[in-house]
Amino acid sequence: MSGLAHYLEDEGLSTVVVALVREHVVKISPPRALWVPFEMGRPFATPNNIGLQQRVLKAALSLLDAPGTEPVLQDFTEEAGNLHDSNWIFPALLSNESVIAEAKSILPSWHKAQTRIGKTTVGVSGLPPETVVEFIDRYFSSDPMPNPKGMALVSRARFAIDDIKLIYFESAFANGGQPSSHQLNEWFWKQTLAGKMILDFQEAARIGDNENLRLISGSLVPPERTYEYT
């Protein structure tokens, strides 16, 4: 982001960077930067916390009022708070007969969650949500599903895996609650057959002959812990 700030300032725009990785803005030193103490992926803090999001945005914009032309780096000190929801459980009993059966059994929760949230972020793969799990499940089989026109097969697989995670994570909000990302990751990677399928896919991609698949294998599973389906 600091690199973009450099070019935009050079074009005549005043910029302020909201930064999650303090080390990076210290190195590049853009004209104005606000470091925020939130988890990665959440530069504006907590979903639906309008007050906190406004305070972050106002703090960032206030750096435009700093005198002089020396770079300004300010820390935003308000924390997002405890994000763990101890009452949260996944809102439905999922089939454990097969990953395909599990995926089918999660769809009612996914539809319910969409109604509750008012939107879905699923769709980046372009595959129908009803078949996206099967696409990955059959990927290395002797009978893979056809790849629709418009996207290379490896890219389709990567985005299909994104969509699978999005379907499951969205479904987790069907009955409300505020599970943390840690809770969601623990549940998805350790307790769902879809999570296990992706872990197996990652390993097959990592050791396989397809160089493009090997390249994406590192971007399928979060790095902060080793997951094992239990």
Q: Which of residues 19-38 bind another protein (CB under 8 A)?
A: 19-21, 23-24, 27-29, 31, 37-38
Nearest to 134 by CA among 230, 191, 201: 201
How many binding residues for another protein (CB under 8 A)? Answer: 83
Under the binding rule (CB under 8 A), the answer on residue 214 touching another protein is: no
SS3 track for 145-182: CCCCCCCCHHHHHHHHHHHHHHHHHHHCCCCCCCCCHH
Q: Which of residues 61-100 bind another protein (CB under 8 A)?
A: 61, 64-65, 69, 71
Q: Which of residues 120-179 bind another protein (CB under 8 A)?
A: 120-121, 123-124, 150-151, 155, 158-159, 162, 165-166, 169-170, 172-173, 179
Which DSSP state fits 73?
A: E
Compute the distance between CA of residue 140 and CA of residue 118 in angstroms, rounded to an integer. 35
Under the binding rule (CB under 8 A), the answer on residue 198 touching another protein is: no
Under the binding rule (CB under 8 A), the answer on residue 195 touching another protein is: no
Least distance in Å: CB of 106 to another protein? 15
Among 82, 115, 119, 228, the residue binding another protein under the rule CB under 8 A is: 119
Q: Which of residues 35-54 bind another protein (CB under 8 A)?
A: 37-48, 50, 53-54
Which residue, 67 or 143, is less far from another protein as judged by CB? 67
Compute the distance between CA of residue 206 and CA of residue 175 in angstroms, rounded to an integer. 37
Calculate the dihedral angle through the C-alpha atoms of 202, 89, 110, 38, rounding to the nearest 10 degrees.
Answer: -70
Nearest to 88 by CA among 194, 208, 180, 219: 180
